[in-house]
Copies of this chain bind each other. A is one copy, B any other.
């Protein structure tokens, strides 16, 4: 048996605006450490998959380039041997997992998969490995094995799994923390939706209720089989489209460019794997665990990054606070001063700031919708984007020009490329650049510059020991990122 990983990375993460953007969703953010949530998830997956196991990342077409650039910019532990499964359209998690399972099964008929959301925080190490090992054991008989987190507070933001049996389910057992972490999968009774506070408090007191982590371990063939079996047993409701879903997933896995299958996939019902399978299948079990875990569900997750002062206020970054209570001042790139606030959340980025009542943060969707309606560019992209060779930051943009600061890591180089509609000036401000323009090759240092006329092939590389920094001034009638023709690229883009 081989364990493969499937990472669901299609989420748009609008609940994390302004930190997250359409092209920089939550899973690509590095706010909880040096690693992004996606990068951490990949490292966590590597700790549990088999030596010959593969890692598949399911992502939408729009995000694929950005996500791949992000991964290529990481170290080898993260960036090597990643397979991408590109969804023709976002149809929620059931179609995505069906496609992933079909893809894994096509390559390894006996394969087992661990399915991981890309945008959660989770403890790794020995306890993580033991938990997943127990889940893999539990999946051997064809079960769908979920991971249930022992709740530590009456959280209303999570769905719960009720796994009451003769051992758990009494207040005494809950108080003793029994079965908080077990080394084996146990039967479950049912899934329950996000509760209100009173219900969540009752769950915590009664015991037997676990947070639904969204992590599932199962044999690839069992996933497809259970989707079909559930559809047969429950022909109406959420599982109604399962047969068509499995059929489409298998066609698409066999040939990802199959136009008919792509069209069919885009027409599948949008349904979650919980609704389409887990809640209806009799072959679901759960490994209970007390791993440190969070689904990073709202901007309030940022509060975990700092200890509050005596007034309950946290300043994260370079902000300053005078006499606010129970307030979050998150400003890592600019200066934000907060004064005398009560229960306010401020989240600042280079080009956009959110100021919200603390108990309204969950309503960020209303802000995002309003911004979408006015076509706000601040929904699309951050000012800084990672690339396999380093990063770039937009400094300013005007009619007919834009200015970027470009950083190239030592030894890296951009693709050999040309532009149809813009010329570029490069001014080296730090480091040692190797610049290829047409047939000419030169080495430039700080204070030196180069001009790239419209249409001429060019390439920039860092041949020094330090990060290379250049300021690029582009002028032309059209300055979009898509005006690029690539002739050679060490990253195979």
Contacting residues, chain B, for A340 (C-beta < 8 A): 356-357, 359-360, 363
B425-A400 in contact (CB<8A): no
B396-A395 in contact (CB<8A): yes
- Cα A366 to Cα B340 with chains together (Å): 11
Q: Is A480 an interface residue (CB 8 A)?
A: no
In the complex, which of the residues B352, B370, B403, B449 contacts A403, with contact meaning CB atoms closer than 8 Å? Answer: B403
Q: Is A456 an interface residue (CB 8 A)?
A: no
Contacting residues, chain B, for A58 (C-beta < 8 A): none
Contacting residues, chain B, for A378 (C-beta < 8 A): 335
A436-493: which have CB < 8 Å to B? 446-447, 449, 451, 469, 471, 473, 475-476
- Cα A320 to Cα B344 with chains together (Å): 17
Interface string of A339-364 (1 = CB under 8 A from B): 11110101010011111110111011
Return 27 A-B CB contacts under 8 Å, by A number: A18-B335, A320-B371, A322-B367, A331-B353, A335-B371, A335-B378, A336-B352, A336-B353, A336-B355, A337-B352, A337-B354, A338-B356, A339-B354, A339-B356, A339-B363, A339-B364, A340-B363, A342-B357, A348-B353, A395-B396, A398-B405, A398-B469, A400-B429, A401-B446, A403-B405, A425-B449, A429-B475
Q: Is A334 an interface residue (CB 8 A)?
A: yes
Contacting residues, chain B, for A400 (C-beta < 8 A): 429-430, 446
Q: Can you name the residue of chain B whose Cβ is closest to the Cβ of A469?
A: B398
Q: Can you name the residue of chain B whose Cβ is closest to the Cβ of A339?
A: B356
Contacting residues, chain B, for A341 (C-beta < 8 A): 344, 355-357
Q: How far is the CB of A401 from chain B (nearest CB, A)?
A: 4
Q: Can you name the residue of chain B whose Cβ is closest to the Cβ of A361?
A: B339
Q: How far is the CB of A24 from chain B (nearest CB, A)?
A: 16
In the complex, which of the residues B323, B348, B473 contacts A429, with contact meaning CB atoms closer than 8 Å? Answer: B473
A401-B425 in contact (CB<8A): no
Contact residues of A with B, CB < 8 Å? 18, 320, 322-323, 329, 331, 334-342, 344, 346, 348, 351-357, 359-361, 363-364, 366-367, 370-371, 374, 376, 378, 393, 395-396, 398-401, 403, 405, 423, 425, 427, 429-430, 446-447, 449, 451, 469, 471, 473, 475-476
Known contacts A336-B353, A356-B339: A405-B396 contact under CB 8 Å:
yes
- Cα A367 to Cα B338 with chains together (Å): 8
Residue from A378, A393, A425 whose CB has the most chain B CB atoms within 10 Å: A425
Contacting residues, chain B, for A371 (C-beta < 8 A): 320, 335, 337
Q: How far is the CB of A121 from chain B (nearest CB, A)?
A: 24
Q: What 3 pairs across the A-B complex have the smallest Cβ distances? A: A340-B360, A401-B429, A339-B356
List 12 additional A-B contacts (Cβ < 8 Å) besides A339-B361, A398-B405, A449-B449: A18-B335, A335-B371, A336-B353, A338-B355, A339-B356, A340-B360, A342-B357, A346-B353, A395-B396, A400-B430, A427-B473, A427-B475
In the complex, which of the residues B339, B353, B405 contacts A357, with contact meaning CB atoms closer than 8 Å? Answer: B339
Known contacts A401-B430, A403-B471: A353-B337 contact under CB 8 Å:
yes
Known contacts A322-B367, A427-B425, A427-B473: A353-B335 contact under CB 8 Å:
yes
- Cα A437 to Cα B320 with chains together (Å): 45
Contacting residues, chain B, for A403 (C-beta < 8 A): 395, 403, 405, 471
Contacting residues, chain B, for A339 (C-beta < 8 A): 354-357, 360-361, 363-364, 366-367
Contacting residues, chain B, for A359 (C-beta < 8 A): 340
B346-A355 in contact (CB<8A): yes
Q: How far is the CB of A305 from chain B (nearest CB, A)?
A: 19
